Chains A and B, each alone.
Chain A
Amino acid sequence: MRKRTVYLDHNATTPLHPEVKKTLIKSMKAFGNPSSLHKFGREARALVEKAREEIASFIGAQHEEIIFVGSGSEANNSVVNILYCPAWKGCVGQGGLAKKRRIITTKIEHPCVLESVACVEAAGIGVTYLEVDGYGKIKLEQFKEELGKGDVALVSVMMANNEIGTIQDIKGICEITHQHGALFHTDAVQAVGKLPVDVAELGVDYLSFSAHKIYGPKGIGCLYIRKGAPFCPFIRGGHQERGRRAGTENTLGIIGFAKAIQMRRLEMQAETRRLLSLKKRLRDGIVKNIADVSFNGHPEDSLAGTLNVSFAAAEGEAILLYLDMEGIAVSTGSACASGSLEPSHVLLAAGTPQEKAHGSIRISMGRDTTKDDMDYVIGRLTGVIRKVRGISSVQGDAKYE
């Protein structure tokens, strides 16, 4: 088979949808500041508000319940920040939560949640990190027990995991949270646009998502804040977003976001079915051709396009390198900007042994992925794993001693 380029890192980011690209190009001339009172401002404002309707209604929210932010990470930071903010006392005091000074989250959250939680922890707020089972699902017994202590202000659990794809029962977790009088946030960056998400149905207080994971532009995220839920702005100094997020609106980003959402409405269902069959093809091919493999994450409650696989006696970073040489883009570990190559905290939390976690890669498919891509990957991966397993034995070779 001829060498080709196969992008299989859609959980990191996605290419722009061609329709989004068209819309963006068309909208480039709308330069006005949406806050301005003149014609230019009004035109930009109209575009932003139209987009807001589109996006809010997609997740079952009212238009005033969502704010635009710079990224999914900012959305998540903004929610955790509520606890840290001195204004929290005021907001929560009114709700009778003044003595509640603890946050519950999980060990498998995205670093933007874990690190902002660690920051409020340093400021004296209690934090509990929930364990997950072998599939990456949170342990409800531990969760209820922790909530029962009665001092929890906020629970943050991600809807779908970026590394292993496991989907949590957010509705159930949220219900339990509310029974104990705490607020609930979910990081739905990997979920919105990939599976049906309806905030009214779920009952969540906060929900974060972002455009570039679903074929929209980068640099634009969205935070749902249920009407009546306490909130303190993370970025201050402007009346934008009803005073909840200062800064001139990223008009183009917002327009592109809305278009991406619009395309999701049309394509999501069929694409999910297609991705599931591609994933099965890939998984079967790997099992058939490569020995000593195991798959991470939940077998059913999982993102349609995400496959996380461990190869025994192989290093993930070497696999990634070789696949890159073959034109195949996947990721290993959490692939964050620090380039840190610690074994994935998600896999370790799910009880994957260190060695196995080191030999894991994440393959995440998207709307451009084809059957031929899968067959190409199966072929190349088979050869790459053979080579990489060879390297592991080279480690013990005395040739260069």
Chain B
Amino acid sequence: MSGGVDSSVAAALLLKKGYDVVGVTMCFNLPDHHRGEPRCCGASAITDARRVSALLGIRHYVLNFSREMENEVIADFIREYRGGRTPNPCVRCNEFIKFGALLKKAMALEADYLATGHYARIIKNGSYHLLKARDKKKDQSYFLYRFNQERLRRIIFPLGGYTKDAVKKLAKRMKLGVAEKKESQEICFIPRNYRIFLKERIRPSLFRPGRILDDKGNVIGTHQGIALYTIGQREGLGISCGCPVYVSDIDAADNIIRVSNRRGLYRRRFIVKDLVFPSGAPKHKRRLGVRVRYLTPEVSADLEPFKDKARVLLGEPVFAITPGQSAVFYDKERVVGGGVIEEVLD
């Protein structure tokens, strides 16, 4: 529980259904940057969660996962950027922390289920399936695809069938005093922006300046180290060539960043690794919907498994497909599975 509207209403709904609910707030002991503490796990979030738990009359505990957060999420975040990729720490946090370490701990503490305020649904139809949330604007299934059956069986998303507006109204009606709280969208361990964070965490000597090339191979600028750039980035390149240019490729091996005009970033083919298919991997080529980034429109794609990876061919070109981000595959409402984009072909 973060003390925010979603987790608070989720707890209240479960309570209404007769579950014996125990509130847990995860504490990561993240540095307090001039009181700009992370909303999801800072001291005020813990106070808020305690307040709501007290109002609901449930027990509330604070569990420390700072070591797991550092080892599994933050270290990976830094490693990925250093490798020229753009990681999605929320996907990783859900896999290793929330529905990893926390789930294990909850089970060890004799809980039957772990519930969160995420917007997604889980149904049982023979096996367990992860579905998009009813509220398509809030759907968080993109962040939650990396679960197997064993985990899905243990997870409850009480808000999956509600719209955000309905949840806000419920919070108001239940007088939880959380309806007006600001939402957290940013990455919790990054106080301002990720470049400042990386500069604090990576030795300066490891930022190696290098060349910026245009799509004809001409050197048109200098970059400050590939970790500070992401595909599709337009600002902060220090290039003036009359027309807007975007980072189209980050070549970590040669320490080169390539840029092109906007059209040059529309691609159709890429390779996905680290695949997870909650209810079984497809054996043959399949046509599915895919999302290559959170809350971007879903496009149709042919998914073709090979070895432990998959080739993806999109039905239409998509802007700034980015290695390190997840590609999540959908069959209408259902999450078929997903993986991490390894390489963008053309």
Let me know if B46 and A338 touch, CB within 8 A.
yes
Q: Is A98 an interface residue (CB 8 A)?
A: no
Let me know if A339 and B27 touch, CB within 8 A.
yes
In the complex formed, the residue of A with least CB distance to B151 is A400
Let me know if B150 and A399 touch, CB within 8 A.
yes
- B25, B59, B61, B64 — most chain A CB neighbours (10 Å): B64
Let me know if A394 and B108 touch, CB within 8 A.
yes
Residues of B within 8 Å of A397, CB to CB, are: 104
In the complex formed, the residue of B with least CB distance to A336 is B43
Let me know if B46 and A324 touch, CB within 8 A.
no
In the complex formed, the residue of B with least CB distance to A396 is B104
CA distance A337 to B47 in the complex (A): 8
Let me know if B105 and A391 touch, CB within 8 A.
yes
Partner of B109, one of A321, A337, A338, A400: A321
CA distance A301 to B63 in the complex (A): 33
Known: A337-B47, A341-B27. A324 touches B104 (CB 8 A): no
Q: Is A94 an interface residue (CB 8 A)?
A: no
In the complex formed, the residue of B with least CB distance to A341 is B64
CA distance A338 to B44 in the complex (A): 7
Residues of B within 8 Å of A321, CB to CB, are: 61, 109
Known: A337-B43, A339-B27, A340-B27. A317 touches B103 (CB 8 A): no
Let me know if B43 and A340 touch, CB within 8 A.
yes
Q: Is B196 an interface residue (CB 8 A)?
A: no
Let me know if B43 and A317 touch, CB within 8 A.
no
Q: Is B100 an interface residue (CB 8 A)?
A: yes
| Those of B94-124 within 8 Å (CB) of chain A | 100-101, 103-105, 107-109
Q: Is B174 an interface residue (CB 8 A)?
A: no
Residues of A within 8 Å of B64, CB to CB, are: 317, 341-342
Residues of A within 8 Å of B104, CB to CB, are: 394-395, 397, 399-400
Partner of A339, one of B59, B62, B154: B62
Partner of B25, one of A320, A339, A342, A395: A339
CA distance A377 to B150 in the complex (A): 36
CA distance A340 to B63 in the complex (A): 9
In the complex formed, the residue of A with least CB distance to B65 is A341
Known: A321-B109, A400-B151. A339 touches B100 (CB 8 A): no
Residues of A within 8 Å of B43, CB to CB, are: 337-340
Q: Is A293 an interface residue (CB 8 A)?
A: no
Q: Is A114 an interface residue (CB 8 A)?
A: no
In the complex formed, the residue of B with least CB distance to A324 is B59
Nearest Cβ distance between residue A223 and chain B, in whole angstroms? 27
Q: Is B224 an interface residue (CB 8 A)?
A: no
Q: Is B127 an interface residue (CB 8 A)?
A: no
Residues of A within 8 Å of B59, CB to CB, are: 324
Residues of B within 8 Å of A399, CB to CB, are: 104, 150
CA distance A342 to B30 in the complex (A): 11
Nearest Cβ distance between residue B278 and chain A, in whole angstroms? 13
Known: A317-B64, A337-B43, A400-B150. A342 touches B29 (CB 8 A): yes
Nearest Cβ distance between residue A376 and chain B, in whole angstroms? 20
Let me know if A318 and B109 touch, CB within 8 A.
yes
Partner of A340, one of B29, B105, B107: B29
Residues of B within 8 Å of A341, CB to CB, are: 27, 29, 62-64, 66
Task: Give per-residue flags for A358-401: 1 if the beta carbon is below 8 A from chain B beta carbons, else 0.
Answer: 00000000000000000000000000000000110011010110
Residues of B within 8 Å of A400, CB to CB, are: 100, 103-104, 107, 150-151, 154
In the complex formed, the residue of B with least CB distance to A321 is B61
Nearest Cβ distance between residue B16 and chain A, in whole angstroms? 23
Nearest Cβ distance between residue A386 and chain B, in whole angstroms? 13
In the complex formed, the residue of B with least CB distance to A392 is B108
In the complex formed, the residue of B with least CB distance to A338 is B43
In the complex formed, the residue of B with least CB distance to A395 is B104
Residues of A within 8 Å of B151, CB to CB, are: 400
- A317, A341, A342, A399 — most chain B CB neighbours (10 Å): A341
CA distance A345 to B108 in the complex (A): 28
Residues of B within 8 Å of A324, CB to CB, are: 59, 61
In the complex formed, the residue of B with least CB distance to A397 is B104
CA distance A324 to B150 in the complex (A): 29
Residues of B within 8 Å of A395, CB to CB, are: 101, 104
Nearest Cβ distance between residue B192 and chain A, in whole angstroms? 21
Let me know if B150 and A317 touch, CB within 8 A.
no
Task: Give per-residue flags for A314-357: 1 if the beta carbon is below 8 A from chain B beta carbons, else 0.
Answer: 00011011101000000000000111111000000000000000
Binding site for B on A (CB under 8 A): 317-318, 320-322, 324, 337-342, 390-391, 394-395, 397, 399-400
Closest 5 CB pairs of A and B: A341-B64, A339-B46, A338-B43, A391-B108, A339-B62
A-B contact pairs, 20 of them (CB 8 A): A317-B64, A318-B108, A321-B61, A322-B109, A324-B59, A339-B25, A339-B46, A339-B50, A339-B62, A340-B43, A341-B63, A341-B66, A342-B66, A390-B108, A391-B105, A394-B107, A394-B108, A400-B103, A400-B150, A400-B151
Given contacts A340-B27, A394-B104, 13 further A-B contacts (CB under 8 A): A317-B64, A321-B109, A324-B59, A338-B43, A339-B27, A341-B27, A341-B62, A341-B63, A399-B104, A400-B107, A400-B150, A400-B151, A400-B154
